[in-house]
Structures are given as C-alpha cells and as structure tokens.
Amino acid sequence: MVLQRLVRPTVSLGQKFAPTTLPRFVRAQSTSSYENILVSSPRPGVGLITLNRPKALNALSSSLFKELNAALREYEEDKDIGAIVLTGSDKAFAAGADIKEMASLTFAEAYANNFIAPWSYLTTLRTPVIAAVSGHALGGGCELAMMCDIVYSTKTANFGQPEIKLGTIPGAGGSQRLTAAIGKSKAMELILTGSNFSGEEAEKHGLVARAFEGGNKEVLDGALDTAAKIASYSRVAVIAAKEVVNKSQDLGVREGVEYERRIFHALFGSNDQTIGMKAFAEKKKPEWTHS
C-alpha cells in the first residue's frame, strides 16, 4: 500500500542538527513510494512511522528496512520533528526478521553484505524514538523495539527472542540489549529457551516503561502523548538529555557523572537554557528557539 506524508514539506539537510556522515544504506526515498510503512504526523512535532506489512505480521524484510531507514532519516533531518513514534498493528509490532528472505542466505553473503547492520541506523538518531508495541514483538521485532529510547506496550504484547527454535541466535542486538535491560539470568533463560513473555512481564522486568490495557490504539495514544511532550521542549536540551542517558550504558558511574556535568555546563551556552530559566523566574511559558 502506498501512503503519502500527511503534513509538512520535506526540509533540507542541516536545518535541524546535521547528523554525522550518513551511512550509504540510508538513502533518501520518496515518501510516496513506501510500500511497507505508513508515515504521518498526528501531533505537533511528532513523526509517526507505522510498520505496514500485515500479511507477514510486519516481518522485517530488507525492503521494509530500507523504507524505515529512509523515513527515520527524513524525520531526523526535519527541524519541526522533536520525537518519533514507531508502531505496528494490534496483531504485530513485528514478528522478526523475514525468515523466508533469509532462509537461503549463505555465510559468505551474510558476512560480505554485513546482513542486519543497516538496522542499527535507528540507534544513531539524536531525535528520541518511542516504540509503541502491541501483538507480536519477536526476534528482530523485539530487537527493534529495544533499539528505541522508550518502549511502551500493551499488557498482552508478546515479546520474545525465539531464534533458538530456528537453529540460530538473535542477530540484531537481542542478546546484548535484553541482558542490559533485564539482567543476565533472566535474559539467558529467555534466549536459551526461546520462551515468550508478555508486555505486563516486560514492564515488571524494566524492559517496557509502561504497559497499557487495551490494544494498539491505547498504547499508541500513550506514546504519542509522551512524544508530543518531549517535542514541546527545547530540542537542544532533549538531544543533550538523550546523549547523557545513553552514555551511562558505556561509561562507569564516575566518568558518566563527569560527562553529564560537562554537557550540563555546555548548555549554559545555549539560548534555550537562558530562556527557560528566565521564563521560570518571570512565571511565563518559555518560547523555545531550539538554539
């Protein structure tokens, strides 16, 4: 199915915060040519991407990923977008990598083409991304959700890393991100048995920030509200906040705290820090300049 962009014209590169060198696989693609995703902007400052390959439960084929990366890149470069929401349908966020597509892959093809590596583009974005998950989030679907900055799900969402049942292992970061999120023993149990777990359990284990009653509509509304709130703040402060939280994954506490302090110091050089503190003192609503 083809869907058009609902709002805003495309803006040129560099109008927001110019990303670092763009990987070759993240090429521009006309939004009107998307066949596996839908894009829209249902709230001010929020870009929504809906995985839309219903017949295959949103299995993550290379053509779907090419479109997803193109849409992410467009939002990343759009100065009017302050947060992105990624969702699927009631039935499936995504049922994993496309098994039929990869079934005949040889080692040489997988290795030489660095199969799956383009999926990581999402993790290089500076704009926050929220996953709104309902239905199946299995294998690569679970991994895609975990690449997002915040994961919301329904209570009945079906998470899992079932690759062991296919004679393989997670290939898009599942063994690393699941372990970092819920701890080694639980992650080991889930990955070695291929057992699934619900959104309710995922919330209990800290993988999901909030688990909602209902279906995709309810979790998506929650994600869009949060995204709109994030998008209403200074983009400079939001980017800095995301950066320092992510640093905590790589640095020890002492170095991390020091890193945070340096970025905190740096924000005294931004216009929005001055605007925010002055507005507080004057009991006014800050008018962010994103500078």
Active site residues: 97, 140, 143, 163
3-class DSSP state of 19? coil
Cα separation, 119 vs 60, whole angstroms? 10
Cα separation, 184 vs 181, whole angstroms? 9
Closer CB to ligand CAA, 118 or 170, in the complex: 170
Residues 6+ apart with CB under 8 A from 97: 59, 60, 116, 139, 140, 171, 172
Closer CB to ligand CAA, 65 or 233, in the complex: 65
β-strand pairing of 129-133 with 136-138: unpaired
Does 143 engage in binding with ligand CAA (CB under 6 A)?
yes
**From candidates 76, 98, 201, 272, binder to ligand CAA by CB under 6 A:** 98
**Binding segment for ligand CAA among 10-18, 73-81, 164-172, 236-244 (CB under 6 A)?**
164-172
**From candidates 82, 88, 162, 222, binder to ligand CAA by CB under 6 A:** 162
**Binding segment for ligand CAA among 39-47, 91-99, 124-132, 261-269 (CB under 6 A)?**
91-99
Provide the token pair at 276.
Answer: 């925010």
Per-residue x/- marks for ligand CAA, 174-213, CB under 6 A? Answer: x---------------------------------------
Does 146 engage in binding with ligand CAA (CB under 6 A)?
no
Count interface residues toward ligand CAA (CB under 6 A).
22
Instruction: State the nearest-atom distance from the C-beta of 174 to ligand CAA, in Å.
Output: 6
Does 88 engage in binding with ligand CAA (CB under 6 A)?
no
Provide the token pair at 253.
Answer: 């506490």
Cα separation, 59 vs 89, whole angstroms? 12
Instruction: State the nearest-atom distance from the C-beta of 157 to ligand CAA, in Å.
Output: 12
Does 139 engage in binding with ligand CAA (CB under 6 A)?
yes
Cα separation, 199 vs 188, whole angstroms? 18
- Among positions 36-65, residues that touch ligand CAA (CB under 6 A) are 56-57, 59
Q: Are 173 and 146 in contact (CB under 8 A)?
A: yes
Q: Are 94 and 56 in contact (CB under 8 A)?
A: no
Sign of the alpha-carbon torsion through 153, 143, 7, 240: positive
Instruction: State the nearest-atom distance from the C-beta of 164 to ligand CAA, in Å.
Output: 10
Amino acid identity of 231?
Answer: A
Instruction: State the nearest-atom distance from the C-beta of 89 to ligand CAA, in Å.
Output: 12
Does 138 engage in binding with ligand CAA (CB under 6 A)?
yes
Does 100 engage in binding with ligand CAA (CB under 6 A)?
yes
Considering only CA atoms, which of 112, 108, 122 is closest in space to residue 60? Answer: 122
Does 140 engage in binding with ligand CAA (CB under 6 A)?
yes
Closer CB to ligand CAA, 88 or 222, in the complex: 88
Provide the token pair at 236.
Answer: 């400079």
Neighbouring-strand partners of residue 97: 60
Buried b (16+ CB within 10 A) or exposed e, 35-52: ebbbbbbebebbbbbbbb
**From candidates 77, 163, 201, 203, binder to ligand CAA by CB under 6 A:** 163
Neighbouring-strand partners of residue 47: 84
Residues at the interface with ligand CAA (CB under 6 A): 56-57, 59, 95-100, 116, 136, 138-140, 143, 162-163, 166, 170-172, 174
